[in-house]
Amino acid sequence: MPENETSQDWLEKEAIGAIEKIELLTVRLPFVAPFGTSVAVWSCKEALLVRLEDKGITAWGECVADPDPYYASETTISARFIIKNFLLPELKPELSLAALLRRFARVRGNEMAKAALENALLDLLAKRRGLPLHVLLGFPPQRIMSGISIGIQETVAQLLEKVEEATASGYHRVKMKIQHGKDVEWVEAVRGRFPDLALMADANGDYTLADAAHLARLDEFKLTMIEQPLSYHDIYQHSLLQARLKTPLCLDESIHTVDDAAAAIALKSCRVINIKQGRVGGILEAVKIARLCAAGGIPTWSGGMDETGIGRALNIQLQTAPGFTLPGDTSETRRYFHEDIVEPGVELSSDGFIEIPPGAGSGVEVVPERLERYLLDRERIS
């Protein structure tokens, strides 16, 4: 299906229709190893899931909010509150998805809550047609580039070991988390050992403009980018920092909407944007941001939130959209969990690429026994 006006008719014109059963679930899956960042160390993935059931079809959405407000202000509990009290009450069978999303716009912020419900509705609409989500969206299939995000380690030796494992697995690029005290020397060590590696660093907002000279010391290590060096809600100060650095900056936390992306591009706050569909209110907003970036000459990539297989599958489908020209944070299932709740899991092929799973919707199926094993609570809404 070509990406044109007619292929998107369903979005504006087709009614979502009745949905027999709507549930909110919370799961908690232990990580293979704790994931350290400058803002928090997470040892498990706790996620709010949206489950829709209709005429034998089950569709899923995953909210990327954590139980804590350390990466973003939304949490699993705030998202549940917003979905139950403000988003689901707007869901009427006669509305198209586009009309529903316009109603969601009245709710300020809360992009992670909105994305979770939009995820589930897109999965449902695609499964009703028996189409993979990327086909419904009008994007041709392609193999997806891989990337890995390595958390803050105790020692430089441990970091080098993790980078070694990642390169041996075939990842197309490696991201290392940095923070005050674990930055210049740590990047220098990795670059010294891996001279040709596509390497970037993510600070999760650990620095201020007063650190500009310190951050400029990273310029000599040929990083592909430095992600979110400054505050989670800043766009302007990043433009001042970018003017002082050779290394491209990439915004993550600061970008919640297509307007944020437009501001960042206009101000030259960054030369790359990390698009997390869960952080920007869903896949359709993510596609708009990718289009804007492509038009502005800003490469983009799909970030991750250590999602379960549900969210990761949606991130994979999203990367078929034009504009996703860089490897994202899409890694193999085994890098996160001993056991995930979906099949098939993500695996890298020998050349480091990821195949889009062939099934309808997101392409993955939740395995009931596994869901049961990691389930914290399950609430039927309607």
Residues with catalytic function: 177, 276
Query: Looking up tokens 């994931």, which residue turns up?
Result: 35
- Which residue, 202 or 365, is less far from Mg ion as judged by CB? 202
- Distance, CA of 298 to CA of 315 (rounded, Å): 19
Instruction: Residue 52: name its binding partner from ligand OSB, Mg ion, none (Cβ under 5 to 8 Å by kind).
Output: none
Among 29, 52, 144, 305, interactor with ligand OSB by CB under 6 A:
305
Instruction: Residue 74: name its binding partner from ligand OSB, Mg ion, none (Cβ under 5 to 8 Å by kind).
Output: none
Rounded to the nearest angstrom, the gap between the alpha carbon of residue 259 and the centroid of all alpha carbons in its chain is 18
Q: Which of residues 97-156 bind ligand OSB (CB under 6 A)?
A: 149
Residue 252 CB, nearest approach to Mg ion (Å): 4
Among 66, 118, 202, 340, interactor with Mg ion by CB under 5 A:
202
Instruction: Residue 329: name its binding partner from Mg ion, ligand OSB, none (Cβ under 5 to 8 Å by kind).
Output: ligand OSB
- Distance, CA of 121 to CA of 188 (rounded, Å): 46
Span from 138-146, 176-184, 196-204, 242-250 in contact with Mg ion (CB under 5 A): 196-204
- The Cβ of residue 124 has, within 10 Å, a number of other Cβ atoms equal to 22
- Which residue, 35 or 104, is less far from ligand OSB as judged by CB? 35
Span from 43-51, 116-124, 252-260, 312-320 in contact with Mg ion (CB under 5 A): 252-260
Among 74, 234, 252, 260, interactor with ligand OSB by CB under 6 A:
252
Span from 190-198, 221-229, 317-325, 356-364 in contact with Mg ion (CB under 5 A): 221-229
Instruction: Residue 205: name its binding partner from ligand OSB, Mg ion, none (Cβ under 5 to 8 Å by kind).
Output: none
Task: Tell me which DSSP letter residue 360 carries.
Answer: S
Q: Are 113 and 82 in contact (CB under 8 A)?
A: yes
Compute CA distances 123 → 97, 315, 359, 376, whole Å.
Answer: 12, 12, 11, 23
Residue 159 CB, nearest approach to ligand OSB (Å): 15
- Which residue, 123 or 306, is less far from ligand OSB as judged by CB? 306
Looking at this protein, which amino acid is placed at residue 287? V
b/e code 256-278 from CB counts within 10 Å (16+ = b) = bbbebbebbbeeebbbbbbbbbb
Span from 13-21, 280-288, 304-312, 368-376 in contact with ligand OSB (CB under 6 A): 304-312
Q: What is the CA radius of gyration of the chain?
A: 20
Q: What tokens does 207 get?
A: 């620095």
Which residues, 6+ apart, have CB-to-CB distance to 117 below 8 Å?
50, 61, 83, 87, 88, 91, 104
Residue 306 CB, nearest approach to ligand OSB (Å): 4
Binding mask 61-100 for ligand OSB (x = CB under 6 A): ----------x-----------------------------
Residue 252 interacts with Mg ion (CB under 5 A): yes or no: yes
- Which residue, 52 or 79, is less far from ligand OSB as judged by CB? 79
Residue 202 interacts with ligand OSB (CB under 6 A): yes or no: yes
Instruction: Give the DSSP per-residue string, 216-261.
Output: HGGGGG--S-EE--S-TT-SHHHHHHHHH-SSPEEESTT--SHHHH
Maximum separation of any 2 CA atoms in the chain, in Å: 60
Residue 381 CB, nearest approach to Mg ion (Å): 32
- Distance, CA of 211 to CA of 178 (rounded, Å): 13
Q: Are 47 and 67 in contact (CB under 8 A)?
A: no
Q: Which stretches of the chain bind Mg ion, using CB under 5 A?
A: 202, 227, 252
Q: Which stretches of the chain bind ligand OSB, using CB under 6 A?
A: 71, 149, 202, 204, 252, 303-306, 329, 331
